[in-house]
Amino acid sequence: MQLQNREQDTAPYKHLSITDINQYNSYNEMTKADIVNEISKTTGIEKANVLETIEKFMEIVKDSLASGENVYLRGFGSFIVKTRSEKTARNISKNTTIIIPEHKIPAFKPAKVFMEDVKNR
C-alpha cells in the first residue's frame, strides 16, 4: 500500500530517482521542523523552546484572526481576514445551482520589503 501511494505521489517525476525527488522537495519546501532546526542552530536556543514559541505564535495569530483582528508584522507582512461575497455556483453532478453565502477567510499579505527581497533572489 505504501509503495502504491509513493508511486502516485511521484507520478509527475517519473524521469527522476527517489533521491532526486527528495532533494527537489528539500529545496522547495520548508516545514515547521526545518524552521525550528534553523532557528535553534543559528541562535543556540533549545529546539523544545523554539518549538513552543512558534506554536504559541501560530496560536495567537489563529485566535486573533478568528476574533476578527488582523495581525501586522512590520517588514514581513500582514495576516488579515478577508470577506468573500456571496456567489452562485453549480453542482455539476446534480446539475443544480447553489448559493455560497458570504464568508470570511484568512489571508497573508506580504510587506513590500518582503516582496522585493523574494523578487531579487
For residue 83, the cross-strand partners are 104
User: How does DSSP assign 24-61, residue by residue?
Assistant: HHHHH---HHHHHHHHHHHH---HHHHHHHHHHHHHHH
3-class secondary structure, 69? coil
pLDDT in tens, 74-100: 999 999 999 999 999 998 899 999 999
Cβ neighbours around 104 below 10 Å, total:
12
Residue the block writes with cell 452562485: 88
- Supply the pTM of this predicted model: 0.67
pLDDT in tens, 4-57: 444 445 455 455 555 555 555 556 789 999 999 999 999 999 999 999 999 999
Give the homologous superfamily in CATH for domain 70-121.
IHF-like DNA-binding proteins (4.10.520.10)
Question: Taking all residues of the chain, what is their mean pLDDT, rounded to a whole number?
Answer: 85
